[in-house]
């Protein structure tokens, strides 16, 4: 069996690639040159560990092991969100400090994908017969919210009968909220602001914002967090809007923000503070503000509870935006998913997790969006242990070394169980 240090060495090489996806960068690199490089690195790793690998012209890649007519799928992704500001360690280096492994992607999603690769390698070394093939499918655009890689895969490749994506939390995830992303835009000549920019991505709570008003520069800082858990962060854009409300209260952007967003993260001021017993509260994150080509654009990320339609979000936001002269556009509208938590796949994964940890926690519904939405019968499973600090999309993203090692063991046994169901 390959050592855990070999796994960490392989992860280090993946982390060194700043694979932020750029969809449509070129025909040769459909998601950007760095994402293509990360995919090729992952495939070479799998090949060195005895797996068959396929790269479909950079659109999608996969590695396979075992025999059988059906496949169990493991859906990981090689792209990451931008590093952003506020790091104490180099984001594109794997840094080990006090049993923590730091680096962009160690949690989301290169770390758990590497654990999956080595889990499959472990099973190959055991040389035991498996009823199904194991296929690790490597996406490159998960963080963009648009998944042309997985869409292409569904249309052209063999689809797994079931499987998991190592891109969320333990013990297991049986539902995900809907995701609605919206752009608001307005010509800069209608603003009183000379310039403004803030945030790194729509699905990240903005940790910085800078503006110029009447020749004076303003800057605010916050705390990054995943857009699905904005209460864990602190929006620098919200801070900026509050500060500017005392200077240019009638500016359309400032007035809109203060009336309909403020410091709320659940849509309270927007009139869409939806909630249900299955998945909890709606979350709303204003992720970025930019001026480009004479137009100011605001990106908003909303995760709506599984019991509600996207119209119950888009209608009030559109009305509020148009009140202040903004053009409104929906850029992503992904329906929620909700599975039977007593189904065979989830219960099989729960059994493995509980045996490895002794933790009897129940499966959950989350606000994050994972590749579990990309294909039927795919479940989000790990890598985060209950009670751990959530650091994906944040500065100083890290995973405990002991957790990554345990994740490898859990995935090995989970794959063994799924291929023999």
Q: Please state, as a whole number, how many other Cβ atoms lie within 10 Å of the Cβ of residue 127.
A: 6
* Mean predicted confidence (pLDDT) in 105-130: 95
Q: How confident is the model at residue 27 (pLDDT cuts 50, 70, 90)?
A: confident
Is pLDDT of 190 > 90?
Answer: yes
DSSP assignment letter at 215 = T
Catalytic-residue membership of 142:
yes
CA distance 58 to 68: 26
DSSP assignment letter at 390 = P
* Mean predicted confidence (pLDDT) in 19-39: 94
Model pLDDT for residues 74-104, shown as the tens digit of each residue: 999 999 999 988 999 999 999 999 999 999 9
Q: How confident is the model at residue 146 (pLDDT cuts 50, 70, 90)?
A: confident
Ordered by where they begin, the domains of the chain are 4-176+337-419 (3.40.630.10), 178-334 (3.30.70.360)
* Mean predicted confidence (pLDDT) in 374-379: 93
CA distance 215 to 335: 44
* Mean predicted confidence (pLDDT) in 297-324: 97
Which pLDDT score, from 0 to 100, does residue 25 have?
83
Which pLDDT score, from 0 to 100, does residue 267 have?
97
Select from 328, 268, 269, 278 the least CA-distant residue to 305: 278
Which pLDDT score, from 0 to 100, does residue 77 have?
97
CA distance 17 to 10: 12
Bridge-partner residues for 226, per DSSP?
A: 204
382 by Cβ neighbours in 10 Å (0-12 / 13-18 / 19+) ranks as: buried
* Mean predicted confidence (pLDDT) in 11-34: 94
Q: How confident is the model at residue 368 (pLDDT cuts 50, 70, 90)?
A: confident
Q: Among the options 79, 200, 364, 413, which is catalytic?
A: 79
Which pLDDT score, from 0 to 100, does residue 13 have?
98
Select from 13, 92, 78, 7 the least CA-distant residue to 395: 92
* Mean predicted confidence (pLDDT) in 238-243: 98
* Mean predicted confidence (pLDDT) in 49-77: 96
Which pLDDT score, from 0 to 100, does residue 92 have?
98
* Mean predicted confidence (pLDDT) in 346-374: 95
The DSSP-derived string for 320-381 is HHHHTT-EEEEEEEE--EE--TTSHHHHHHHHHHHHHH---PPPEEESS--GGGTSTTEEE-
Model pLDDT for residues 384-418, shown as the tens digit of each residue: 999 999 999 999 999 999 999 999 999 999 999 99
* Mean predicted confidence (pLDDT) in 101-124: 98
Catalytic-residue membership of 64:
no
Per the prediction, the chain carries an average pLDDT of 96
DSSP assignment letter at 204 = B
**pTM value?**
0.85
Largest CA distance in the chain: 72
**Token pair of 383, please?**
């890598």
Q: Please give the C-alpha separations between residue 150 and each of 39, 137, 372, in angstroms, as whole numbers.
A: 14, 9, 11
Q: Among the options 108, 122, 142, 312, which is catalytic?
A: 142
């Amino acid at each position: 069996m390959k050592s855990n240090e070999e796994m960490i060495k392989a992860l280090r090489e993946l982390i060194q690639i700043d694979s932020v996806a750029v969809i449509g960068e070129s025909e040769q690199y459909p998601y950007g040159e760095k994402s293509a490089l990360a995919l090729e690195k992952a495939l070479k790793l799998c090949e060195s560990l005895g797996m068959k690998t396929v790269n479909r012209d950079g659109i999608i890649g996969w590695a396979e092991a075992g025999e059988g007519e059906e496949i169990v799928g493991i859906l990981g992704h090689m792209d990451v969100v931008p590093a952003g500001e506020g790091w104490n360690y180099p984001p594109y280096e794997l840094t080990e400090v006090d049993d923590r492994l730091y680096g962009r992607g160690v949690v989301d999603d290169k770390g758990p994908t590497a654990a999956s690769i080595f889990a499959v390698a472990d099973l190959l070394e055991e040389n035991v017969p498996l009823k199904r093939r194991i296929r690790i499918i490597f996406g490159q655009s998960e963080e963009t919210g648009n998944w042309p890689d997985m869409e292409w895969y569904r249309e052209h490749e063999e689809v797994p009968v079931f499987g998991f994506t190592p891109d969320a939390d333990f013990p297991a995830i049986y539902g995900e909220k809907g995701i609605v992303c919206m752009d608001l835009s307005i010509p800069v000549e209608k603003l009183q602001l000379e310039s403004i920019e803030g945030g790194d991505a729509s699905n990240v709570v903005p940790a910085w914002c800078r503006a110029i008003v009447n020749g004076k520069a303003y800057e605010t800082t916050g705390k990054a967090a995943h857009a699905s858990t904005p209460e864990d962060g602190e929006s620098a854009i919200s801070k900026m809007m509050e500060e500017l409300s005392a200077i240019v209260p009638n500016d359309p952007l400032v007035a809109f923000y203060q009336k309909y967003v403020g410091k709320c993260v659940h849509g309270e001021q927007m009139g869409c503070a939806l909630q249900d017993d299955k998945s909890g509260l709606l979350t709303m994150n204003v992720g970025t503000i930019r001026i480009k080509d004479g137009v100011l654009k605001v990106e908003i990320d909303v995760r709506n509870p599984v019991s509600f339609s996207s119209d119950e979000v888009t209608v009030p936001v559109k009305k509020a935006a148009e009140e202040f002269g903004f053009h409104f556009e929906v850029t992503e509208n992904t329906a929620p998913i909700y599975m039977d938590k007593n189904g065979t796949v989830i219960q099989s994964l729960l059994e493995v997790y509980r045996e490895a940890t002794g933790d009897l926690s129940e499966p959950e519904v989350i606000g994050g969006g994972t590749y579990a939405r990309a294909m039927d019968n795919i479940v989000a499973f790990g890598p985060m242990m209950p009670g751990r600090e959530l650091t994906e999309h944040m500065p100083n993203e890290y995973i405990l070394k002991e957790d990554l090692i345990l994740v490898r063991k859990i995935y090995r046994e989970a794959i063994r169980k799924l291929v023999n169901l």
